[in-house]
Structure 1
Amino acid sequence: MLRIMNRFIERWMPLLTPISLTIGIIYADFFKPHSYLVPWMFAFITFSSSLSITLRKIGEALRHPLPIFTAIIIIQGIIPVIAFAAGKWLFPSEQWIVIGLVLAFSIPTAVASILWITIYHGNVSLALSTVILNTLLASLFVPATLVVFFRQSVALDTAQVMNGLFWMIAFPSVLGIAANRMTSGKMTRCQVVFSPLAKLALLFVIIINGSVVAPFILNMNKQVFGVTTVVFFIACTGYLLGHFSGKLLRLNAADRVSLLYLSGMRNIGVGSAIAVVYFPPAVALPVVIGTLFQQLLASFFGRILMGMPAAGKQEKIIKTEEEDD
């Protein structure tokens, strides 16, 4: 039964994601009071996604660290600066929107990027190592980025944000990797149960996101349209930076594929959880908007820059922002 449920959710996730967002918007009054559950849901999602990670795979990628460091610089350095500059230029009087833009593009890379990297024959070990390192360091990177850009203009409880990130990301990740290690990989069998439940948890998080941003969506105006446009173009910039950085560094084809997706995709679930729990609703708007086209952009840039995936691989196309999102 759980296997059937898992396959169904995976197959229809591109449709279930906007449906869940719509449910949250329509029934905002019912779901918004339950936003306190988001950190718990996301901690479970992170733990579930970490069960298949091994230290051996991480070690393989760390022997060649240049692509990892390049991805981290793009993810945590260049793109957040672009997001801040665009926000201050286009929304100078909307401080919370600017914070939302920076948050949306300072969160770690997406776990779902690994699936796209597999489709286009990228370096999976490199992807796993980057995702793990970026995820574990997120509890430091994200608060530090917010402090650098906004400490003088907005009162930020960075200690609380850091604590929340530790329990939502760092601790569950380490716990999942340790469980896999201590049981010699036997814990991966539990994913028959955990995987569909993690996907349901993700859909619940998306519903909560919808309930939080409902006032903005239901009162669509130029500002919401502008935020959507800015998020779209910054997301595209991430992919392009990853692609051309790989060419500039003369990486092999597999590493270039990995750098493309690691730089372009974001763990939107983390961003939305932080925005919903620690900030006003306006901060969540840019983050949640990212769920609308993250998978579409992943497919588009893969086909345009890397060509069509090998026969038989297309069916694996990312189903979700999943354990990422």
Structure 2
Amino acid sequence: MKYLEKLAQFICRNMTLWVVGFSAVAFFYPEPFKPIGKNISYLLGVIMLGMGLTMSLEDFRLVLTRPKDVFYGVFFRYLIMPLVGFGVAHMLGLPPALAAGMVLLGAAPSGTGSNVMTYIAKGDTALSITVSSINTILAPVLTTYIFAYLAGAMIPIDVNALLMDIVKIVLVPVAAGVALHMLAPILVEKLTKVVPAVSVTCIIAIIAAVVALNAAKLATVALVLCVAVAIHNIAGLLLGYYSGRVVGMSKKKSRAITFEIGMENSGLAVALALAHLDPMAALPAAVMTVWEYITGSVLASYWGNRPIDEQTESASEDEVNSFQQG
């Protein structure tokens, strides 16, 4: 088991390298990777199962004890990123398939890496975990209808089919993972040491498949696609942090909200794009998977080396609360 744990750590530690390497291979030699495209929904289901295994009912406790903080995290997640995706698509004049992919990416729930980045950044990890969990549970309804509203004029969308796919790909595996965590906690505790590596392997396979399926088109849109994804992500991180500060959140909470908004469940966007849209619509999410981990880790490391003065933060937050109550 120790060997597996070390292997898992090695895989996770070098995730960006694996993604870039396999994507390059898939671009130049796409045929071996194309068949994976048929199984992307299953691979994402494995990732969501892994997420569920790390969750427990305790993760939802903050909904009752700090409802305002959780509400802001969920509200800003589903307000900011879909609008940013829509705005970037129109600003850059993206073709319909890519534009729809940008909106779908923005309408997806928080990414699973947001919790890790919040921890590294010395942010409010408990808030991050709770907001991620709630965002994921609400995804079938919010992702479906926000995407349909913003992208409906770009491409035809089967709303009911989209909603049911998100339920099958997200809710069912997550619920199964939570149930297993409750029924067999000791076994799950052992499994969770290698689960992240399984998730990373699935992510690598998903991205390689998307690159392979779009290899012929990718070269023609690579530059504008990278610019669009970079703007989307950086805008999300900036707006995430300052939206938290505007509503009176401490720096620690705002750091959590930053990653909840700026990091997205790009794997879900990839699976939905391939199932319901043109394969080209999956490209923004595929590129984001690499980009958001680069920017997220850089920002998290920067904040992690700049500790927050807890006493000053506490006093500042008390002043804001008193002002709002007054």
TM over 0.5: yes
Q: How far has the Cα of 1:192 moved from its partner? A: 4.2
SS in structure 2 at match of 1:293? helix
- Tell me if 1:91 matches 2:93: yes
Q: Distance in 2 between matches of 1:250 and 1:152?
A: 37
Q: Does the Cα contact within 8 Å between 1:91 and 1:97 map onto a contact in 2? A: no
Q: Distance in 1 between matches of 2:236 and 2:39?
A: 31
Q: Does the Cα contact within 8 Å between 2:120 and 2:301 map onto a contact in 1? A: no
- Tell me if 1:3 matches 2:5: yes
Q: Does the Cα contact within 8 Å between 1:239 and 1:301 map onto a contact in 2? A: no
Per-residue CA distance 1:124-163 (angstroms, 9 max, x = gap): 2211111111111111122212221233452212222212
Q: Does the Cα contact within 8 Å between 1:119 and 1:309 map onto a contact in 2? A: no
SS in structure 2 at match of 1:121? coil
Q: Does the Cα contact within 8 Å between 2:210 and 2:279 map onto a contact in 1? A: no
Alignment of 1:18-33 (within 5 A): 18-33=20-35
Which residue matches 1:308?
A: 305
Q: Distance in 1 between matches of 2:198 and 2:282?
A: 24
Q: Does the Cα contact within 8 Å between 2:88 and 2:231 map onto a contact in 1? A: no
Q: How far has the Cα of 1:298 moved from its partner? A: 1.0
Which residue matches 2:83?
A: 81
- Tell me if 1:117 matches 2:106: no
Alignment of 1:1-325 (within 5 A): 1-91=3-93, 94-184=95-185, 186-217=187-218, 219-220=219-220, 223-303=221-301, 306=303, 308=305
Q: How far has the Cα of 1:232 moved from its partner? A: 0.6
Q: How far has the Cα of 1:200 moved from its partner? A: 1.9
Q: Does the Cα contact within 8 Å between 1:23 and 1:210 map onto a contact in 2? A: no
Q: Distance in 2 between matches of 1:180 and 1:309?
A: 35
Q: Does the Cα contact within 8 Å between 1:272 and 1:288 map onto a contact in 2? A: yes
Q: Does the Cα contact within 8 Å between 1:2 and 1:196 map onto a contact in 2? A: no
Q: Which structure shows the bigger proportion of residues in helix conformation?
A: 2
Residue type matched to 2:157 in 1?
L
Per-residue CA distance 1:18-41 (angstroms, 9 max, x = gap): 112112222222221331111111
Q: Distance in 2 between matches of 1:260 and 1:25?
A: 32
Q: How far has the Cα of 1:4 moved from its partner? A: 2.6
Q: How far has the Cα of 1:71 moved from its partner? A: 2.2
Q: How far has the Cα of 1:109 moved from its partner? A: 0.7
Q: How far has the Cα of 1:7 moved from its partner? A: 1.6
Q: Distance in 1 between matches of 2:277 and 2:27?
A: 18
Q: How far has the Cα of 1:171 moved from its partner? A: 0.9
Where structure 1 has 5 or more consecutive residues not aligned to the other structure, the ranges are 311-325
Q: How far has the Cα of 1:3 moved from its partner? A: 1.6
Where structure 2 has 5 or more consecutive residues not aligned to the other structure, the ranges are 308-326
Q: Distance in 2 between matches of 1:301 and 1:63?
A: 29
Q: How far has the Cα of 1:256 moved from its partner? A: 1.5
Q: Distance in 1 between matches of 2:123 and 2:91?
A: 36
Which residue matches 2:313?
A: none
Residue type matched to 1:76 in 2?
Y
Q: Does the Cα contact within 8 Å between 1:109 and 1:267 map onto a contact in 2? A: yes
Taking structure 1 as the reference length, the TM-score comes to: 0.87
SS in structure 2 at match of 1:109? coil
Q: Distance in 1 between matches of 2:193 and 2:148?
A: 41
Q: Distance in 1 between matches of 2:34 and 2:19?
A: 17
Q: Does the Cα contact within 8 Å between 1:75 and 1:263 map onto a contact in 2? A: yes
Q: How far has the Cα of 1:187 moved from its partner? A: 2.0
Q: How far has the Cα of 1:69 moved from its partner? A: 2.0
Q: How far has the Cα of 1:309 moved from its partner? A: 5.8
Q: How far has the Cα of 1:254 moved from its partner? A: 2.2
Q: Distance in 2 between matches of 1:114 and 1:193?
A: 17
Q: Distance in 2 between matches of 1:266 and 1:193?
A: 22
Deviates more, 1:48-57 or 1:229-238: 48-57
Per-residue CA distance 1:203-245 (angstroms, 9 max, x = gap): 211211221221222x33xx43122212211211111111112
Q: Does the Cα contact within 8 Å between 2:120 and 2:300 map onto a contact in 1? A: no
Q: How many residues align?
A: 305
Which residue matches 1:314?
A: none
Q: Distance in 2 between matches of 1:62 and 1:23?
A: 48
What is the aligned-residue RMSD (CA, Å)?
2.0
Residue type matched to 1:51 in 2?
L
Q: Does the Cα contact within 8 Å between 1:61 and 1:126 map onto a contact in 2? A: no
